[in-house]
Amino acid sequence: MPSFNEETVKSLFKCKKIIAVFGANEKLIRKTERILNKSNKHIDFIFDNNFKLHETAVRGYPIKEFDFILKNCDKNDIAIVVENNIEKHFQLRSIGMTQNFHYFIIDDLIFPTDISSRYSRQVYAPWFADSEFQSTYAKMRKHTLVDITRCYELVTLLKQTKNLHGNVLEVGVWRGGTGFLLTHYAKQYGKTVYLADTFEGVVKTDMDKDFSYVDGMHSDTTLDIAKELFDYYNYDNKVFLKGLFPDDTSSIIDNETIIFCHIDVDVYQSAMQTTEWVWERMPVGGIIVYDDYGFPGCNGVTDYVNEASDIHSTDRQFLYNLNGHGIFIKTK
């Protein structure tokens, strides 16, 4: 269980009336709830323009648009909890909300000061100058909870496998955003992308291994929602695999070689079973990317990757990027 930064949390509690969360991100909301359990305060609302087409509430909290904050909230009465995420900060700056409000970065609330102070703010952001990426990202950003830094890294890592023989797999699709991004670039390399998900939320949670998850989280999606994104832009180099993976659907691609795999399953058991299935079908130079590695609340994925990197250190190189990706590169 993570410790809290008591001094920063006390500052949050001093705000008079309103606690708002920037981003309809269920994990961020759950973390904020845990912090607020230490007081008589609660989340009053979420604000996020990106989700207005799909939802009116997340975990029972109403979703407001940016204009609502600017027109109806006194700057002295509102505390806004945000992710340590350069894209979110860019959005806030673009609408004039980086001044005169009380902001609290979730990592600064959870981690002690001496730890959080080690995190540097990113200054090199090549994704802003990449016109193809920006165009593709704009099409899928409402269909993902993955921030722009991790999306861009998925693209750069996929490019490093493009000369290998085989195809691409994503397990944990949600509404299809990152899968769409991979499909766009894989099409240029003549690759098919297999997209595996229950489309009914997180599965295989274990209360002893997974800190913040229960079965059914992120169930606010359907296969039709994901398909609509791909069909609108006429991408045909994808195959959806609906059901438990690998339990129900892996037999469909049992003879495939997988050169790149994005695992965004949030929990220990699913990450382990997916990795074990993929590894024996992956050539040397193949890459597995784990989303949410090192995130507070995603300890199941973090623990599994750490264990696997220790046990199997002779056949893979392990990289940890502070943006929230754990990466295996197959070496033999």
Residue 121 maps to a domain: no
Q: Strand 325-330 relative to strand 316-321: parallel, antiparallel, unpaired? A: antiparallel
Q: 49 exposed, middle or buried (CB, 10 Å; 0-12, 13-18, 19+)? A: middle
Residue 13 maps to a domain: yes
Cα dist. 85→144, 193, 324 in Å? 14, 28, 11
CA distance 251 to 143: 27
Instruction: Say what the alpha-carbon torsion angle 146, 268, 204, 200 is, to the nearest 10 degrees.
Output: 10
Q: 4 exposed, middle or buried (CB, 10 Å; 0-12, 13-18, 19+)? A: middle
Domain identity same for 92 and 142: no
pLDDT at 107: 64
The larger pLDDT score, comparing residue 158 to residue 208, is at 158
Token output for 37: 């359990």
Domain identity same for 66 and 158: no
pLDDT above 50 (res 40): yes
Q: What is the pLDDT of residues 85-133, one digit of tens each?
A: 555 666 666 666 655 567 676 666 655 444 444 444 445 788 888 999 9
The larger pLDDT score, comparing residue 309 to residue 27, is at 309
The larger pLDDT score, comparing residue 33 to residue 264, is at 264
Token output for 246: 């690998």
The larger pLDDT score, comparing residue 324 to residue 308, is at 308
Inter-residue contact 282 to 330 (CB < 8 Å): yes
The CB-based long-range contact list for 46-52 (8 Å cut-off, 24+ gap) reads 46/20, 46/21, 46/22, 47/20, 47/21, 47/22, 48/22, 48/23, 48/24, 50/24, 50/141, 50/142, 51/24, 51/142
Domain carrying residue 94:
6-116
The β-bridge partners of 325 are 291, 321
pLDDT above 90 (res 199): yes
Q: If you average pLDDT over residues 55-78, what whole number do you get?
A: 75
Whichever domain contains 67, its CATH number is: 3.40.50.720
Q: What is the pLDDT of residues 231-287, one digit of tens each?
A: 999 999 999 999 999 999 999 999 999 999 999 998 999 999 999 999 999 999 999
pLDDT above 80 (res 5): no
- Last residue in a domain, options 65, 88, 116: 116
Residue 263 CB contacts under 8 Å (≥ 6 apart), including other chains: 170, 171, 172, 271, 274, 275, 288, 289, 290, 291
- Last residue in a domain, options 116, 141, 171: 116
Token output for 316: 């893979």
pLDDT-derived band at 294 (thresholds 50, 70, 90) equals: confident
pLDDT at 18: 61
Domain identity same for 325 and 204: yes
Closest CA to 9 of 323, 19, 1: 19
The distance of Cα 312 from the centroid of its chain, to the nearest Å, equals: 26
pLDDT at 280: 96
Residue 18 maps to a domain: yes
Longest dimension (CA), the chain: 60
pLDDT at 15: 64
The larger pLDDT score, comparing residue 84 to residue 199, is at 199
Phi, psi of 64 (to 5 degrees): -110, 160
pLDDT at 165: 98
How many domains would you assign to the chain? 2
Q: 141 exposed, middle or buried (CB, 10 Å; 0-12, 13-18, 19+)? A: middle
pLDDT-derived band at 72 (thresholds 50, 70, 90) equals: confident
Q: If you average pLDDT over residues 301-326, what whole number do you get?
A: 92
Q: What is the pLDDT of residues 145-192, one digit of tens each?
A: 898 889 999 999 999 999 999 999 999 999 999 999 999 999 999 999
How does the average pLDDT of the chain come out, rounded? Answer: 83
Residue type, 30: R
pLDDT above 80 (res 35): no
Domain identity same for 46 and 171: no
Domain identity same for 218 and 178: yes
The larger pLDDT score, comparing residue 33 to residue 178, is at 178
